[in-house]
Amino acid sequence: MSDSAGYSNLMQFVLSGLAFGSIYAMVAIGFNIIYNATGIINLAQGEFVMLGGMFLVWGQDELGLPVWAAVAVSVLIVAAIGVAFERIAIRPLRNPSVLVLIIITIAGSFLFRGAVLLVWGDRLFSCDSFLSGDSIWILGAIITRQRILIFGTLLVVGGILAVFFGYTILGKAMRATAFNRTAARLVGINTRTMVMFAFGLSAAIGALAGAVVVPVTGIAWEHGVLLGLKGFAAAVLGGLGNNAAAVVAGLLLGVIESVAAGTISTDYKDAIALSALLIVLFIRPAGLFGRAELTRLGQL
């Protein structure tokens, strides 16, 4: 293989990795938002992604909506599901332990998967690319417009969240809740509402990620599991609770995976990416950008 071919292949791996890394990053942000509000890892996060994809296809096929409207409908419905899940399964508990909450989210993941299976069956659904037009050549690599759109979605989501958490009352209130719940309550923030809002927001971001990925991979009832785990890995790699770190970590994870698959071995690509994660954790126990003293210790 000539050098230039090797270079363009490497570009190809990086670009493929960035598209999927964007998905991981959005899932990781979803994890972070709920983690900040409640201290738990929501293992149903991947299911929000899957539901997002499912409702997109449903909006297009059943309601006949144009693609952008279908995305909006899907995001709204899934956000409502997230809120409902919090209201029904999380809020009624008094002083639950973190482990119990995590198992409840696992139960939620089964419920969501089960419901999708009942309504839509186990078919793999797909839809057309949101943007028509040919693939684009970038630096010797070829990439579809949909993948660029996925990357763009991440940038937009990241930007909106930065503004939201930095400059709006609601965003600041959520940050305050994450920082110190008791103090937040003392200054008049309804922390329970914040938790509910966190579930809604996190579900919405997951749904958006799920919607934009459908034209590339299709979507089926069990697709959420793996995306959820990868997103969890990205959130931990960056350092739990830190959204900017999640973006970097998600993209990094996607690129490592893709480059490992392309240059070392497709058989072992997941093992390579996760080994990288383990090495990072062994050196920096709170993730790339996390500070050890800030992790919520001993809550298990």
Partner 1 sequence: MGLKNLTGLVLLSLAVIVLPYALPDFYFKLIQIGIYALICIGLSLLLGYAGQISLGHAAFYALGAYTSAILTVRYGWSPWLAVWVGIGLTIILALAIGIPSLRLQGHYLAMATLAFGEIAFVVATAWVALTGGPSGFGHIPKWNVFGYRLVPPRADQAIFYFVWAAVILGLLVALNLINSRVGRALRAIHDGEQAADVLGIPTATYKIKIFVLSAAYASVAGSIYAHVSGYVNPGPFSVEHSILFITMVIVGGMRTVWGGVAGACLMGLLPELLADLEHWRFAIYGLILLIIMMFIPQGILLGVRDLIAWSLEKLPFRKADSPGETE
Partner 2 sequence: MLKIDRGISQGIIVFALLLLASGIFFACEQKPQQMEETTTQQATPAPEMQEPMAPAEEPQAQAPQDEPIKIGAIFAITGRAAWLGEPEARTAEMIIEKVNGQGGINGRVIELIVKDTQGAEDRAVNAVRDLFREDVVAIIGPSRSGTSMAVADMCEEQQMPLISCAALAQITEGRKWVFKTPQKDSDVVIRIYEYMRDHGMTRVALITGTTGFGAGGREKLKEMAPEYGLEVVADETYGPGDTDMTPHLTRIRGTNPQAIVNWSIIPGQSIVMKNMKELGMSDIQIFQSHGFGNYGYLKAAGDAAEGVLFPAGRALVVDDLPADHPQKEVLSKLKQDYETRYDEPLSTFAGHAYDALWLVLDAIENVGADRAAIRDYIENRKGFVGTGGVFNFSPEDHTGLDKDSLEMLTVRNGKFAIPGGE
Residues near partner 1, by CB under 8 A? 35, 41, 43, 89, 92-93, 96-100, 103-104, 106-115, 117-118, 121, 225, 229, 232-233, 236, 240, 265, 267-268, 270-271, 274-275, 277-278, 281-282, 285-287, 295-300
The item of partner 1, partner 2, none sharing an interface with residue 262, based on CB under 5 to 8 Å by kind, is partner 2
Among 39, 2, 70, 25, smallest CA distance to 161 is for 25
Using CB under 8 A, pick the residue from 195, 213, 234, 277 that binds partner 2: 213
Map tokens 């119990």 to a residue. Answer: 100
Among 37, 47, 48, 45, smallest CA distance to 98 is for 37
Using CB under 8 A, pick the residue from 18, 19, 37, 54 that binds partner 2: 19
| C-beta separation of 270 from 33 below 8 A | no
Region of 55-63, 95-103, 215-223, 245-253 interacting with partner 2 (CB under 8 A)? 215-223
Q: Work out whether 226 is an interface residue with partner 2 (CB under 8 A).
A: yes
Whichever of 148 and 201 has its CB closer to partner 2, that residue is 148
What is the C-alpha to C-alpha distance for residues 47 and 110, in angstroms, rounded to an integer? 9
Using CB under 8 A, pick the residue from 135, 138, 172, 185 that binds partner 2: 135
| C-beta separation of 191 from 184 below 8 A | yes
Whichever of 169 and 300 has its CB closer to partner 1, that residue is 300
Radius of gyration of the chain (CA): 19
Q: Work out whether 220 is an interface residue with partner 2 (CB under 8 A).
A: yes
Whichever of 169 and 297 has its CB closer to partner 1, that residue is 297
DSSP 294: G
| C-beta separation of 155 from 161 below 8 A | no
Distance in Å, CB of 266 to partner 2, minimum: 4
What is the C-alpha to C-alpha distance for residues 177 and 267, in angstroms, rounded to an integer? 43
Residues in the chain: 300
What is the C-alpha to C-alpha distance for residues 60 and 76, in angstroms, rounded to an integer? 15
Whichever of 99 and 139 has its CB closer to partner 1, that residue is 99
The item of partner 2, partner 1, none sharing an interface with residue 245, based on CB under 5 to 8 Å by kind, is none
Q: Quick check: helix, strand or coil at residue 121?
A: coil
What is the C-alpha to C-alpha distance for residues 182 and 1, in angstroms, rounded to an integer? 61
DSSP 205: H
The item of partner 1, partner 2, none sharing an interface with residue 111, based on CB under 5 to 8 Å by kind, is partner 1
The item of partner 2, partner 1, none sharing an interface with residue 274, based on CB under 5 to 8 Å by kind, is partner 1
The item of partner 2, partner 1, none sharing an interface with residue 112, based on CB under 5 to 8 Å by kind, is partner 1
Whichever of 178 and 220 has its CB closer to partner 2, that residue is 220
Using CB under 8 A, pick the residue from 95, 122, 282, 300 that binds partner 2: 122
Alpha helices (runs of H) in the chain, residue ranges in sequence order:
3-38, 45-61, 67-85, 98-120, 145-167, 169-179, 181-186, 191-217, 223-238, 243-259, 269-283
DSSP 39: S
Whichever of 134 and 293 has its CB closer to partner 2, that residue is 134
Longest dimension (CA), the chain: 66
| C-beta separation of 49 from 28 below 8 A | no
Question: Which residues in this chain contact partner 2 in the complex, by CB under 8 A?
Answer: 1, 5, 9, 12-13, 16-17, 19-20, 117, 122-126, 135, 142-144, 213, 216-218, 220, 222-223, 225-226, 258-259, 261-262, 266-267, 269-270
